Structure 1
């Protein structure tokens, strides 16, 4: 099966005063169509850098990222990006925020309303469609951001710690909601997180990155059935995979210098 997203020896340097910083070092990864991949690693390992290159928000210094075999040369409607910060327009209602990308695409008003309402209902915000973001909780704002990303029908979702700022209960609820939506829509998801439990709970595979410079450390298969449930989260099988990921993240060998 042809991979959906391919990172091929991707390197990224940032220019600093008096030199440069190697954030990503020859990072290679294939993500299959419809796969849910989570990416974990210590701070400074290049997780967000890799995601931003896939989104077309950053250029690689070396190597390339392709989607369906075509090089990523900038942002595109087939890739939806969801950030940790909600990035909602504060002066627009939930409905208007969700319709925003559809308006840019030139969808007629009736079609915009139909699509927006579908995804607002999907994320459980139907009764808040006319509310402004300032009246919503953090979890509700993030659900609105997810609905907006889904509404423009991307085949790929790129998610950069979308639940990182939320309380534990809201985080678990949104994890379950995201998986429920993914199981219906089967989009390709690449999801960055610092949370090992979250990484294992969501994913088909967990990609562990190493820092200094950022590179691929290990890929760990999550051989647990969907739908994921609290019973699975508390199972010995989950604990075993979680412990393996934890060890891979927090007991890494020092990087070899590449000059």
Structure 2
């Protein structure tokens, strides 16, 4: 079976006046269909740049990204993007926000309402379908954003630190909610995070990136069963994988400080 997401020798440069900055340097990665991959690394290592290229929001300077066997040449409905900022329309209710993409696709109103209702209930917002975003907590807003992304039926979810602005308890709750939704829907997920525990808890594999310019440093498999539970989070097996990921991220930062 072909990989769902393929990065091949992707380099991305940004022009800064008379100079150029290399954010990604010959980055290659395969993500399998239905896989949950998390990406970690030091600040400025190109994590979000890679995700934005996969989303079609940026073009690579060299190399290519393919999703579902097709070259990425711009945004597309097969890829749902979820940001740290909730990006909800404040004048629309939860239901209307979730229906928005369906309306753009021309889905008839009865089908639109049924599909939106399914995903609103799936993320636990059934009692808040008619609420405006200003009345929701941060975690509820992010669940609404996840429901909206799922509703348009993308085969791939690209998530850029979606829980980064949330408190610790809400973050853990949203991790469990996301995994529950992923296990039911089985979309391919590429998830950017700075949190090593979060990366290990969610993923089939953790991709560790090297600092400037962004390169693939190591891929660490997470051989832990689903569903993930508190017992797994507190297990020695989890701790061992977490420590390996932490060392892969932290050691390169220490090496960089010594070299500079």
CA deviations 1:98-139 (Å, max 9, x no partner) are 000000000000011000000000011111111100110000
**Mapping for residues 1-259 of structure 1, pairs under 5 Å:** 1-252=1-252, 253-254=255-256
Counterpart-to-counterpart distance in 2, 1:136 and 1:5: 34
Q: What is the DSSP-based 3-state SS (H/G/I as helix, E as strand, rest coil) of the residue aligned with 1:23?
A: strand
Measure, in 2, the Cα distance between the counterparts of 1:68 and 1:100.
Answer: 25
- In 2: Cα distance, 1:91 partner to 1:248 partner: 44
Count of residues in correspondence between the two structures: 255
Q: Which runs of 5+ in 2 are unaligned?
A: none
Alpha-carbon deviations, 1:188-243, whole Å to 9, x = none?
00000000000000000000001110000000000000000000000000000000
Deviation of 1:254 (Å): 4.1
Quick one: distance in 1 between partners of 2:114 and 2:39? Answer: 34
Task: State the distance in 1 between where 2:104 and 2:249 align.
Answer: 41
SS at match of 1:251: helix
Q: Deviations over 1:21-70 (max 9, x none)?
A: 00000000000000000000000000000000000000000000001221
Q: Where in structure 1 are there 5+ consecutive unaligned residues?
A: none
Structure 2 length as normaliser, TM-score? Answer: 0.97
Q: CA deviation at 1:18?
A: 2.1
Q: What is the root-mean-square deviation in Å for CA atoms of aligned residues?
A: 0.9
Distance 2:232 2:212 in 1: 34
